[in-house]
Amino acid sequence: MRLHGIFSWNSGRRPLKREDYVVIRSERGLEIAQVLCELADGDLKQFPENITRGAIVRMMTNEDANEFNRIHFHETQEFHVCLECITRLGLQMHLVDIEHIFGGERIVIYYLADGRVDFRELVKVLATEFQTRIEMRQIGVRDEAKLLADYGDCGKECCCNTYLTEMPPVSMKMAKLQKATLDPSKISGRCGRLKCCLRYEFPVYEELLEKLPPIGTRVRHGGVPGRVVGYEILAQQVYVETEDRLHKLVPLMELEFYEKKNQPSKKNKGFSRDSHDSMTEPNR
């Protein structure tokens, strides 16, 4: 799952550098890992309290590399054996991937299922077949993408497959506020859920939205009265509808307000945060 962890290393040994491969001991057993960077004192607060911890046992040797490649090669065969057992037992689950821990302590089986699955018989069969502990781990579709996805629509590697350690929920409200297309095929990632990148700029949009007047606010521009009917949030511009039903896009700083209380302010809570859902905007 490309998990991040904090691992100790005896500083008296050979110094480690970025991208070095090492053998670590984690709560799962001996594993192969890659060094990212040295941990500074102030970095600890950036990580969750339950982050994986352990120790670096040694630099990866040629023998370790050969053993890792051998295990990885046999994972394909183990996958097919597991798939055959699932089919034979008639279990309602979708096998996603198999991870054979480097030290041989266990084999982790990742699967998708709509509900609970009684896999006790499957575990017995696989434990006998592979002569090691079997760990079953049910995952979601976003975790499946983290395991198997490669590139997104942007042309870069999927965020979940590279640096994301947590995948917080993404809502349709975020897409609406950013005026992204609402075509599901264009705002969905490889997992079939809303793209994680919709969340990245959402706090900035919300902060900028606080500076804009509520929909329906009566304003003047150049002495001509009108009312606010829409926004260009990033540009801090407002669509104003005049009394003769004309629409024009006006910078926020050029607007005059009839009442001081209607002026935009960070403290202005007098309008619904969902008001942008119903706003109208002229065709561009």
Q: Domain map of the chain by residue range? A: 5-60, 65-139, 143-200, 206-277
Task: Specify the CATH superfamily of domain 65-139.
Answer: K homology (KH) domain (3.30.300.20)
3-state secondary structure of 6: strand
pLDDT of residue 283: 37
The pTM score is: 0.71
3-state secondary structure of 148: helix
Q: CB-based burial of residue 99 (10 Å sphere; 0-12 exposed, 13-18 middle, 19+ buried)?
A: buried
Bridge partner residues of 220 (DSSP): 225, 256
Give the best-scoring range by mean pLDDT among 144-148, 237-241, 244-248, 258-262. Answer: 237-241
Residue 64: band (very low, low, confident or very high) from pLDDT cuts 50, 70, 90: very high
Among the residue ranges 172-181, 249-258, 260-269, the one predicted with the least confidence is 260-269
Bridge partner residues of 151 (DSSP): 157
Measured N-to-C along each axis, helices 62-89 and 120-130 cross at an angle, to the nearest 10 degrees, of: 140
pLDDT of residue 150: 81
Residue 49: band (very low, low, confident or very high) from pLDDT cuts 50, 70, 90: confident
**d(C-alpha 35, C-alpha 128), whole Å:** 35
Q: How many CB atoms lie within 10 A of CB 85?
A: 18
Residue 277: band (very low, low, confident or very high) from pLDDT cuts 50, 70, 90: very low
CATH of 206-277, one of 2.30.30.140, 3.40.120.10, 3.40.50.10490, 2.50.20.10: 2.30.30.140
pLDDT of residue 112: 94
Q: How big is the CA angle at 33 (ends 29 and 35), to the nearest 5 degrees?
A: 135
Bridge partner residues of 56 (DSSP): 24
3-state secondary structure of 113: coil
Summarised one tens digit per residue, pLDDT across range 7-35 is: 999 866 788 999 999 999 999 999 999 99
Domains 65-139 and 206-277 share a fold: no
**d(C-alpha 284, C-alpha 271), whole Å:** 26
